[in-house]
Amino acid sequence: MTETNFSPKFEKGMSILSKRWTGLILFQLFKGKQRFCEIQSALPLSGRVLSERLKELEVEGIVKRKVFPEIPVRIEYSLTEKGRATLPIITATQNWSEEWILVE
């Protein structure tokens, strides 16, 4: 077993943010409140995966899900304060990618 010097909080944070599609979902939600279909149409992922990630982010307190009691029911997703605090991380990753990543 390999021992690390990382704190458990850092490891959990990396685990949350490194899940596939999570960074792109956060990036999309920085644009403001959005419905499920808006997020899904902006990203090349399945509805099942998007639903899973949004639930995980909601459990972690990063995304807020607001249900409007209308017919049909309307649901909007937005970032919480904790979610908005990831902006520097997402922005730094975007800047690093623009400078260093080659796309063929």
Residues 5-47: tens digit of each pLDDT: 789 999 999 999 999 999 999 999 999 999 999 999 999 999 9
Domain that holds residue 25: 12-95
Residue 62 lies in a domain: yes
| pLDDT band at 1; cut points 50, 70, 90 | low
- Look at residue 72 and tell me if it is in a domain: yes
Number of domains within the chain: 1
Q: Say if residue 62 is exposed, middle or buried (CB neighbours under 10 Å; 0-12, 13-18, 19+).
A: buried
In a domain? residue 3: no
CATH of the domain at 89: 1.10.10.10
Residue 84 inside a domain? The answer is yes
**Residue 103, in any domain of the structure:** no
Whether 41 is in a domain gets the answer yes
- Residue 22 burial (10 A CB sphere; 0-12, 13-18, 19+): buried
Question: Under a CB-based contact definition with an 8 Å cutoff, are residues 48 and 5 in contact?
Answer: no
